[in-house]
Amino acid sequence: MLSRLLDPRTAIFMAIMAALTIGVPVLNGAGLLPDYLVPLLGKWLCYAILAVALDLVWGYAGILSLGHGAFFALGGYAMGMHLMREIGPRGVYGDPILPDFMVFLNWKELPWFWLGFDSFPFALLMAMLVPGLLAFVFGWLAFRSRVTGVYLSIITQAMTYALYLSFFRNEMGFGGNNGLTDFKDVLGFDLQSGSTRAGLFVLSAVLLMLTVLVCRAVVTSKAGKVLVAVRDAESRTRFLGYRVEGYKLFVFVLSAVIAGLAGALYTPQVGIINPSEFAPAESIMVVIWVAIGGRGTLIGAALGAVLVAAMESWLTGVAPELWLFALGAMFVLVTLFLPKGVLGLFGAGNLPAFAKRSEVPA
C-alpha cells in the first residue's frame, strides 16, 4: 500500500516536508529563523494544499475550476467565525456574544447561521461540510448536465463571483467589506505567540503531507485510472459504461473539502479573512500555481504554489510594479514552453496524453 502511494518523487517530497516540519520550529526556537517567516511559510503551505486540491480535479479529471478559491474562502470563513466567537468580551465594544461588526451594525442577537460556531469541532466540521456541500450541489448540477470545458470553467467563475458579491454585503452577516479579523486566540492559545504560530505551521505541513497521501491514494486507485480516462476522452469513457459524472462529483467534492480545510488553517495564520479571497482573480492564481508546478503531478502543484507565493512576497517587496509583469510573463511562458510545468523539466512526464488531446477547435 505505502509503496503504491510513495513513488520516488513523492517520497523525496515527504522527506523534505518532514524535515521542514521539524526544522522550522526548531530553527525558530533557536533564533535562526525570524518570527515573521513562520506564519508566512505556513500561509504558503496552505496555498500548496489548495493547489494540490485543484490539481486533483484539473490534472486528473480535466475539470478546470476557476472557482476553487471559493471553497478555500468558505473554509476560512468557517474558522474565522469560530475565532470571532473566541474573542468574546475582549472586542472593542466588549459585547460578550456579538462580534464587533454586529454591534456596529446595531444587531441585537446572533444570526442563526452563527450559532454553534463557538465550538471548535463544529467550526472545523463546517469548514469541510460547507465547501463540500456547495461542491456537491454545484457539481451534481453541472456534471449531470454535461457542462464541460470552457463552459464549466466560466460557471465556476460565476459561482465564486456571486459569492464574492454576496460576502461584500453587510446584511449577509459576515463582516461585509472588512471581513473577519482582530482574532485573539484559538483553543486558548494566543495567536500572536511564537509557539502557537509554530504549531499552526506544523499543522499546515502535516495537512499538506496528508493531502498529498490522500490524493495519491485516489489517483493510484482504479478510480484514479477512470478519472484520467475521463480527462482524456470523456465520451469514450462514458460509452465504456462508466458513470462519468459520479467519478467527477467524487473528486470535485473531495477537492473542495481539502480546499476548505486549507482555508481553515489559513485564517488563523494570516489573521484576517475577507471577501477578496473570493475574487475570480484569486482563483485563477491557484490555476497558475498548478500550471507552473506541473499539472497532474500533485507535488508539482504544491511546489508551484510555494514558488509563486515566495516570488510574489519577494518581488512585491523589491519592485512592486514588476510583479504583475512577472506573473503575466509566467502565465504566457509556462503555457507556451513548459506544458508540464517546472517538474516536467526534471523528466517527470507521467502525462503522455496531455497537451495533445482536449478540445480541438472545429
Amino acid at 141: L
Tell me the three cell numbers of residue 352: 503522455
CA angle 346, 349, 350 (to 5 degrees): 135
CA angle 283, 288, 294 (to 5 degrees): 130
Write the binding mask 43 to 82 for other proteins: x where contact by CB under 8 A, - elsewhere. Answer: ---------------------x------------------
| Among the listed residues 37, 103, 133, 155, the single contact to other proteins using CB under 8 A | 155
Residue 105, helix vs strand vs coil: coil
Write the binding mask 113 to 152 for other proteins: x where contact by CB under 8 A, - elsewhere. Answer: -------------------------x--xx-xxxxxxxx-
**Calpha distance 105→283 (Å, rounded):** 30
Query: End-to-end alpha-carbon separation of the chain, Å?
Result: 44
Cβ atoms of 179 and 275 closer than 8 Å: yes
Min CB(293)–other proteins separation in Å: 13
- Considering the rule CB under 8 A, would residue 311 count as an interface residue with other proteins? no
CA angle 84, 90, 93 (to 5 degrees): 90
Min CB(303)–other proteins separation in Å: 18
**Calpha distance 29→224 (Å, rounded):** 42
- Considering the rule CB under 8 A, would residue 353 count as an interface residue with other proteins? no
- Binding-site size for other proteins (CB under 8 A) equals 49
Min CB(42)–other proteins separation in Å: 27
Q: Map the footprint of other proteins across residues 314-333, applying CB under 8 A.
A: 321, 324-325, 327-332
Binding site for other proteins (CB under 8 A): 64, 138, 141-142, 144-151, 153-155, 157-159, 161-162, 165-166, 168-169, 280-281, 284, 287-288, 291, 321, 324-325, 327-332, 334-336, 339, 355, 358-362
